Amino acid sequence: MNHDLSKLPGIFDRYPKHQQSLIAVLQDIQKEYQFLPCEALEETARVLDVPLSKVFSVSTFYNAFSLHPRGEKVLRVCVGTTCHIRGAAQIQEQLESQLNIKAGETTPDLKFTIETVGCVGACAKAPVVIVNERYYGPVKVSDYKKLLRGK
Amino acid sequence: MVNLTINGKVVQAEEGEVLLSVIRREKIDVPALCHHEAVEAFGACRLCVVEITRQEWDGWCDYVTSCLYPASDGLIVNTHAAKVNDLRKTIVDLFLARHPKCPEIIELAAEYGVYSTTYQTVVDGDNCILCGLCTRICDRMGFHAISTVGRGHGKEVSPPLHKAPPDCTGCLACAQNCPTSFIEYSAAKGFLTIWDKKFELLKCSGCGKETITKVFAEHLCQERKIPFEYFQICDECHRKQLAATMGEITSWDREAAS
């Protein structure tokens, strides 16, 4: 897969070309492309002079980084204790069956990604679903349309 | 220098030297899977746990990984206290649960009287104990070809992007230092394959035996300024050559003396 890597030099320019900038650079690439393209990892390793194995190790360690393209809308279903008790599993199931994908997967048209997260610290609003940056809660199973439509 | 007591015997150690190296110097057998003199101690396998105390601790003691704990004056170490053996037994028990088919683990567990795990066995587990010795040694060799990837249950040792590692030279330092012989490689018909990467092997010009990979030899030539010819002959043939040379020198000397 080839990706437009023209935005990378701009990202590298923001930080000192040093090992310590690795996470900051990866975060910016993730934000720009919604995931970390392989070519971008190789370029990061080259520019920051960090072994590629270390770049790969870091980018697979943190959940905030994804090596696979993600959908325009990332639906994060909180499955923390409170949300679990208040029916997170049913909400997850409903979203999974509506989009015909499992948690951690992306629809083939790259529109939606479903993920599960531990606790997002919004237990008072449980069960919570986060669509991109926006929090929704308390969510009902029948709210799926709103979640899929929501900005 | 500092004085400390190990199993009742007063021994000397360098200030700050880790306990495991003092223990090994005293020829006391303490198991350790993740330790290697060439790399910084890591404390991953926890097997080198020992009991430490001091006179002034008033009977209180602590259990520390000896590969990381520095020696200091007045430290009293017990490498095989009953509690230490219990702790090691639990550790090998856990190892056995995760790697039930690993010969090295089975053997180690048997030494501690553990013949079957008391925990739930991981059915589809592999033999990698995730001690990271291979990745640390690879870093030490200066290649940085492999690293640990992912975390938690999914953690594994892998080349970057799960593809043949571009920086690997086939030096085999990872595979041959793996405490559980997990890293596979094969050598056949002049080629070595490791991490899905194929390397050409050099052949000894004397006996035809396959030696190290060409890429690794070239790396050593460049980094260590060793002439390439050095690698075109195996160690055994080197020695034979050396003996022949020594014979020649002796005969020259004899000629010169007469």
Q: Where are the domains of chain B?
A: 2-80, 89-127, 133-239
Prior bond to B100 cis, omega within 30? no
pLDDT at B194: 96
Q: Which residues in chain B have their CB less than 8 angstroms from residue A36's CB?
A: none
Per-domain boundaries in chain A: 8-61, 73-149
> What does the pLDDT read at residue B149?
95
Instruction: Assign A150 a pLDDT band (cuts: 50, 70, 90).
Output: low
Judged by a CB distance cut-off of 8 A, whether residue A57 touches chain B is: yes
Query: What is the pLDDT of chain B when averaged over all its residues?
Result: 93
Between the ranges A1-10, A129-138, B81-90, where is the mean pLDDT highest?
A: B81-90
Alpha helix stretches (DSSP H) within chain A:
8-13, 22-33, 38-48, 52-61, 81-85, 88-99, 144-149
The Cα-based distances of B141 to A35, A36, A69, B173, B216 in angstroms read 32, 28, 35, 8, 11
Angle B103-111/B82-98 helices, nearest 10 degrees?
150
Measured between CA atoms, the residue of chain A closest to residue B156 is: A57
Q: What is the pLDDT of residue B77?
A: 96
pLDDT for B147: 96
Per-residue pLDDT tens digits for B41-50:
999 999 999 9
Residue A66 and residue A33: Cα distance in Å, rounded? Answer: 10
CA distance A102 to A107: 9
| 3-state SS assignment for residue B251 | helix
How far does the CA of residue B249 sit from the closest CA of chain A (Å)? Answer: 49
B178-196 tens-digit pLDDT:
999 999 999 988 999 999 9
Mean predicted confidence (pLDDT) in A4-33: 92
Give the model's pLDDT for residue A3: 67
What pLDDT band is residue B107 in, cutting at 50, 70 and 90? very high
Q: What does CATH list as the number for A73-149?
A: 3.40.30.10
- Asked whether the predicted pLDDT for residue A2 surpasses 80, the reply is no
Whether the per-residue pLDDT at B256 is higher than 90: the answer is: no
For residues A29-37, average pLDDT: 90
Domain B2-80 part of CATH 3.10.20.740: yes
pLDDT at A151 over 80: no
Q: Do B165 and A61 touch (CB under 8 A)?
A: no
pLDDT tens-digit map of A44-96: 999 999 999 999 999 999 888 989 888 889 999 999 999 999 999 999 999 99
Chain B residues with CB inside 8 Å of A57's CB?
147-149
Q: B141, exposed or middle or buried, with CB in 10 Å at 0-12, 13-18, 19+?
A: middle
Cβ within 8 Å, pair A53-B150: no
Please give the distance of CA A147 from its chain centroid, rounded to a whole number.
Answer: 16
B contacts of A44 (beta carbons < 8 Å): none
- Give B-chain residues touching A61 at CB under 8 angstroms: 150-151
- The pair of structure tokens assigned to B189 is 């018909």
The reply to whether residue B166 touches residue A54, judged by beta carbons under 8 angstroms, is: no
Whether pLDDT at B162 is above 90: yes
| pLDDT over 80 (residue B59) | yes
Residue B208 pLDDT > 90: no
